[in-house]
Structure 1
């Protein structure tokens, strides 16, 4: 039986990390979906009540001595229904967004090189990370999305997993910090697309620590996350520049 190559082992490890991350967030994701579900359930019950009241009002309209007043009352009720409908649509949109973000993680390991919108990926990832209740409630997030950021030509899955690894590293480091702030920024400069991640926690693992694979002690979560980020950056055709509390990821211009 042939031993898997080092690259195959890395890909397997990367995939298991993503599966673990999704499983770890299940409780938080269910918690986040519960709010919109409760709103939908409540509004459906109110719709049922309003429908019964309006049916009775319409039946009484024919016998009303003030039909104009009865019609105005019906109009007011209809306006109230429209407001409830807007709340239901917003709740449904939130549920759809969460389901879509989770669904994108069921793609195959390779989903093909194609233009991908970095800003949309960042928004999706931040929504997914709301499943981490520490990240959601205790990390102060500043997100600056550049208005003219072009599409990045790469495997979308590689970009998503790169962002996941960077956020996993920052979230773990911020658990040890008094001031828990995270800054994410996308920008375009000289044809290249940049993603900058900055935090106020302890420094990112140094190069030797992040690359170490042997020894009695297992690597820390930040070290593993940095190694994964480098792997996904390589697959996405990007480069990483790591300083103590900032990582700058650069995607090259699209060819042609």
Structure 2
């Protein structure tokens, strides 16, 4: 590789890392939204509990001053009723805490993946699950996209290039997500499938978005070509380049309402 080629390769690697960081920043807004909802729930329940303490205090004061009259009994009954009704909120608080922990776990998932050493075995199914969870930080993807995940049985363990594979799959899923967002009416659906075909590990990503215009299809893997306006137009180019460097191939077919990308990789190379 000559000096210009080496510089281009280094630039492409740097862009892939930068694009991943940018995606994290964009999707982190969705994570913050989820966290705010959970924190708001916790805050609301804490206020209700504070009100309970106030009511309990008032009723205890009545008990102390009532001298055992019928009013005292009524106050005790009222106190028990309040405590019973408010105690039903505790499971809801507990679930909110668990949800908050899960949101934070998703935010740290990328860092955990980066911490894996090159010798750690993984599977293509694990890559799919990881990227699906990562994109759930996008509220549209999480709440409106109907996802069908078909994971092949007996997928062999893989030994290297996990970050590269996650990057490729992220580019494909992000492309599908943009296509779905451009579709104005539901349903919005996404299908991800993994399978083993002989010596090849294959992944298929299919969406029912707006599709790729016929005049654009010949350019879809070209650098700086984008139909989304706000994108750099390098995602699919880098996906193709990465797959080919791993000895595999990538392709697609698209008609209005259905776009299908697939990639095929030699299992022994990864």
TM-score normalized by the length of structure 1: 0.70
CA distance in 2, matches of 1:236, 1:61: 78
CA distance in 2, matches of 1:54, 1:151: 61
Q: Is the 8 A contact 1:186 1:193 kept in 2?
A: no
Aligned length: 244
Which residue of the other structure, out of 91, 95, 102, is the alignment partner of 2:100? Answer: 95
C-alpha RMSD of the superposition: 4.2
Unaligned stretches of 5+ in structure 2? none
Q: How do 1:210-221 and structure 2 match up within 5 A?
A: 210-213=220-223, 218-220=224-226, 221=231
Which residue of the other structure, out of 29, 32, 37, is the alignment partner of 2:31? Answer: 29
Residue in structure 2 matched with residue 163 of structure 1 by the alignment? 169
Q: How do 1:62-211 and structure 2 match up within 5 A?
A: 70=76, 74=80, 77-78=83-84, 80-81=86-87, 83-106=88-111, 111-113=116-118, 114=120, 115=122, 117-118=126-127, 120-130=129-139, 133=140, 135=141, 140-146=145-151, 148=153, 153=158, 154-178=160-184, 181-189=188-196, 194-200=202-208, 201-203=210-212, 206=217, 209-211=219-221
Secondary structure (helix, strand or coil) at the match of 1:219 reads coil
Which residue of the other structure, out of 229, 240, 243, is the alignment partner of 2:250? Answer: 240
CA distance in 1, matches of 2:243, 2:30: 27
Q: Is the 8 A contact 1:152 1:193 kept in 2?
A: no
CA gap of 1:127–1:54, structure 2 versus 1, over 3 A, is farther
Q: Is the 8 A contact 1:195 1:249 kept in 2?
A: yes
